[in-house]
Structure 1
Amino acid sequence: MKILHVGWWITPYRYGGAINAALTLMEQQVEDGDEVYYFCGGSYNILKRSPYIRKWGKHNITIYELVNSPNLVGQYGKPLQECHHYQIERQFIKVLSEVNPDVIQFHEFESLCGSLIGVAKSLNYPVVVFLRNYWPLCPQRDLLDSSGKICDDFNHGWKCIDCKVRSSSPKLGWMLLALARETKTWPLVELFLSHAKSIYEKLSSFRRPSTQDNISSSKAKEFLYRRVFFLTMLEKADRILAISSRTAEIYQSFGLSGAKVTVFPSVSKALYLIKPKKIGAWQPPITFGYIGGINYHKGVHILIEAFKGLPQDKARLLIFGKASNHSYMSLLRQKVWNSSIEFRGPYGLRDINKVLKEIDVGVVPSIWEEALGLVVLEFLRARIPVIASNIGGIPDYVHHRKDGLLVKPDNSSDLKEKMLYFIDRPERITSFQSRIKPLKFFDNYSNHMKKIYDLILLDRETSRCLNRKK
């Protein structure tokens, strides 16, 4: 089977749960004998202005990288361009003509545009869309408003203006960061790589402030149109896979029909490498651990605030991961003074078992509607009890007082209580470990996905036969 995947970038040039999961699936399909292709937004070439395709390969996957995408990730304020852009559509059609896939699977739309679903359907290709985040509904992906609270009211597009246009970075600042992070091909960019973030933040400080008074109502209508357009495009797909039941529920609350939606979990490479820890006796100090991106919406500040209220001689907190916002990281470092908290920095895939070996209880303090939270599955796979926010897709996999504890999101007091639950009686860790069941769904994961493809192709063939009889 020839499968064309569509998404945003690829490791090791860009990291993220969705990128990791898509690549994991593609590699499995290659092992199964499928022909796998990947069309993705990618790097920027300052010597050329127009978008073009750079064809290359990785792990027997043929990659069609869209260089110089006109839709810059992180550059907001152009909602109509994220709906459809003729240059992106033109390059996509070229790839379709060359590959002629049996099925197309969309993973992410960032740096691309929503109309690609319509393009694929107009050319009669079967389409599967994997809803891994909320970008089709929210330009910043995480459904948080400008105050950092969950956004469930678009206010006819005005909340998008308040949230996104005010925080949009200048194009020059964004391009410096994009080049440093993604291409790493130009000597000048390499030279300033370590300073790119500070340069970006300084340039951003010169942006013009925006208010609702000087932004026309037409811009608000554009943001509203963007959401309606993406929902319309999603309805055209043959099958929609939601990464969790909550993700499906949120999209349906915004108007997406549930007829084609199937809850389908995601995977990561780490899940196939993690070795379950032995069940054993635990003694203080109890080591709590956080692994993943150090970002505001991940709630690391809530975790630190909660932990500082614990007896520091009976517990320690290890934070593994990389911060994408220097200001946020500086704030966190100020908070950990005179505590048993350690920032261990980024970790690689090869280090995952070494990292998990140090952790007795995992903590996932997200304050956004976490679409799934792959780190939850990684903790459970390692047979590590989890304390996690009762939000998003997390409750699909963390069963309260069985294999973990659920806490109120954005509530440091509740989180502190749940950590004390293990500190006061460390033997509870052993009890929780014994109740963690093996994760079965990621066995033969690509075969489960192939069944989805086969059902779509069967439905299409059935429809053709019925039309011939008519």
Structure 2
Amino acid sequence: MNIVEIASGNFFSTYGGGQVYVKNIVDEMIRQGYSVQVISFVNKDCAVETRDYKGTMLYEVGSNGIDRLESLIVQIRPDVIHAHSHKAQVVEIGKKQHIPVIVTAHHGGIVCPAGTLLDCKDEICHIAVSHEHCLACCLRNIRSGKYWYPFMRLLPQNVYRSLGRGLSKLPFIPFVTPIGQAALSIERKQAEWHAIASDCTRMIAPCQAISRAMQRNGLSKEKITILPHGIPLPKEVPDFPPIINGKIKFFYVGRICYVKGLHILLEAFSLLDNENAELHLIGGVGNKSERRYEHSLKRRYAADKRVVWHGKVPPEKVFDMIRLYHISSSS
């Protein structure tokens, strides 16, 4: 069986769990002797370039190659496609070429227009996607957007979408463009999700909450397999580290972003009346929003010397670091 993995962006990126997860899957398939090839998306001014990865063919698709994705898949002739990105496009290609497509959902953004699967109260969302229900969340993710919501919600949906299409023809205007295109973004997410839900062969969901959200939005329960994402374990797992002088070490591993709830973790830890406790935060940021979030947290808790920021750590070194800690709050 020839399997092609559609990477979550650049195959060699370690920005988020999705990228690392795909690389772990490919490494394990290679170890077990499966026939696997990889399509990776890179920030290069090229169409398609090839390279060898551990004896496996890796296709790097640049900015000029997205339109050639179907012809590349036809060239590879896989028996199964496993999609981690470009999901709607890949599902459409699979349907056209009669190739089964398995889609892995890495987070709630596969169905949620705001990308978080949280409502405006930061609680798990239990409502199907719609313009009416999603507009407030989408605008809240845009700087100053929450102040515009009372006005923008009064616009008829078709007028709001037309505004978005008009703005898409103009140069990007900070704040104005993303706020003006919110309705269009919701519509696009709904169309994209409908294509995925209708024609994917199998959907892998990482948890029950995302599985239920998919079913609320039209995915057949029979297509879903719940498979929590894991990490490769070392051959020998060390014993629980000793607690020396009563010092308990908490730790978090993941991206530094709002949806991970670090502000809640830090607030809870700050209320812990124990000078021997430590909180170790392992992870990095990848965009302006995440950098602002990280900066605000570091500033707010700068006086608490029990909090240790380690920054981004290479995936292969994470286990060696956390083996000395005691209690995980990882995402």
Is TM-score (shorter-chain normalized) higher than 0.5?
Answer: yes
Equivalent residues in 2 for 1:216-231, closer than 5 Å: 220=183, 223-224=186-187, 226-231=189-194
How many Å apart are 1:317 and its aligned residue?
1.6
Aligned to 1:26: 26
Q: 2:25 & 2:248 partners in 1: Cα distance? A: 36
The alignment partner of 2:33 has SS state of coil
Provide the aligned length of Structure 1 versus Structure 2.
299
User: Counterparts of 2:209 and 2:222 in 1: how far apart (Å)?
Assistant: 16
Q: Work out whether residues 5 and 38 of structure 2, in 8 Å CA contact, stay in contact via their aligned partners in 1.
A: yes
Q: Within 5 A, what are the aligned runs for 1:137-176?
A: 137-144=111-118, 150-153=124-127, 156-157=130-131, 160=134, 163-164=137-138
Moved more, 248-257 or 308-317: 308-317
Per the alignment, in what secondary structure is the counterpart of residue 343 of structure 1? strand
| 1:303 lines up with 2:277 in the alignment | no
Report runs of 4+ in structure 1 exceeding 6 Å deviation. Answer: none
Residues 1:13 and 2:8 aligned together = no
What's the offset of the Cα at 1:363? Answer: 2.0
Number of the residue aligned with 1:208: 176
How much has 1:7 moved relative to structure 2?
A: 2.8
For residues 233 and 59 of structure 1, the distance between their equivalents in structure 2, rounded to whole angstroms, comes to: 31
Which of 30, 43, 67 lines up with 2:62 in the alignment? 67
8 Å CA contact 2:250, 2:328 repeated in 1: yes
Note the 1:36-47 alignment, pairs <5 A: 36-45=36-45
Match of 1:291 among 250, 253, 270: 253
* Match 1:327 to one of 263, 288, 292: 292
Question: Which one of 235, 238, 245 corresponds to residue 198 of structure 2?
Answer: 235
**Alpha-carbon distance between aligned partners in 2 of 1:274 and 1:332, rounded to the nearest angstrom:** 36
Letter in 1 for 2:69: F
Which of the residues 305, 308, 320 maps onto 1:342? 308
Deviations 1:298-322 (A, max 9, x none): 1111122111222242312222221
- Unpaired segments of 5 or more residues in structure 1? 70-86, 170-203, 365-372, 374-470
Residue 93, structure 1, aligned to residue 75, structure 2: no
Give how far 1:225 is off. Answer: 5.4
Structure 2 partner of 1:3: 3
Give the TM-score, by structure 2 length: 0.77
How many Å separate the matches in 2 of 1:226 and 1:330? Answer: 30
Per the alignment, in what secondary structure is the counterpart of residue 62 of structure 1? strand
CA distance in structure 1 between the partners assigned to 2:26 and 2:118 by the alignment:
31
Structure 1: how far apart are the matches of 2:316 and 2:235?
8
Percent of pairs identical after alignment? 21
Residue deviations 1:274-296, cap 9 Å, x none?
Answer: 72324756651212112221111
1:254 counterpart letter in structure 2:
N
Q: Residues 134 and 3 of structure 1: is their aligned pair in 2 closer, same or farther, counting only changes over 3 Å?
A: same
Question: Deviations for 1:340-382, whole angstroms, at most 9, x for unmatched residues?
Answer: 2121222223432431133121224xxxxxxxx4xxxxxxxxx
Report the equivalent of 1:254: 217
Alpha-carbon distance in 2 for matches of 1:290, 1:32: 31
* Residue number in structure 1 paired with 2:327: 361
SS at match of 2:237: coil
Q: Mean alpha-carbon deviation: is it higher for 156-165 or for 250-259?
A: 156-165
CA distance in 2, matches of 1:234, 1:154: 14
2:101 is the alignment partner of 1:117: no
Question: Residues 308, 38 of structure 1: CA spacing in aligned structure 2 closer, same or farther, 3 A cutoff?
Answer: same
1:114 partner SS: helix
Cα 1:252–1:305 shift into 2, 3 Å = same
Aligned counterpart, 1:245: 208
TM-score scaled by length of structure 1 = 0.56
Q: Distance in 1 between matches of 2:107 and 2:7?
A: 12
Contact 1:157 1:223 in 2 (8 A): yes
The separation in 2 between residues aligned to 1:65 and 1:91, in whole angstroms, is 12
Residue identity matched to 2:251: G
SS in 1 for 2:176: coil
Letter in 1 for 2:6: V
| Alignment-mate amino acid for residue 223 of structure 1 | I
Deviation readout 1:135-192 (Å, 9 max, x if unpaired): 33124532245775544446732555555478569xxxxxxxxxxxxxxxxxxxxxxx
Q: Deviations for 1:224-253, whole angstroms, at most 9, x for unmatched residues?
A: 353254234333222222222332222112
- Contact 1:166–1:209 under 8 Å retained in 2: no
Change (3 A) 1:141 1:274: farther
Native 8 Å contact 2:114 2:134 kept in 1: no
Q: Please provide the CA RMSD for this pair.
A: 3.1
Contact 1:319 1:345 in 2 (8 A): yes
**Counterparts of 1:64 and 1:309, CA distance in 2:** 50
Relative to structure 1, the CA distance from residue 140 to residue 20 in structure 2 (aligned partners, 3 Å threshold; closer, same or farther) is: farther
Within the candidate set 62, 78, 81, 1:104 is matched to 81
**Residue deviations 1:20-43 (CA, integer Å, cap 9, x gap):** 122111122222222211123321
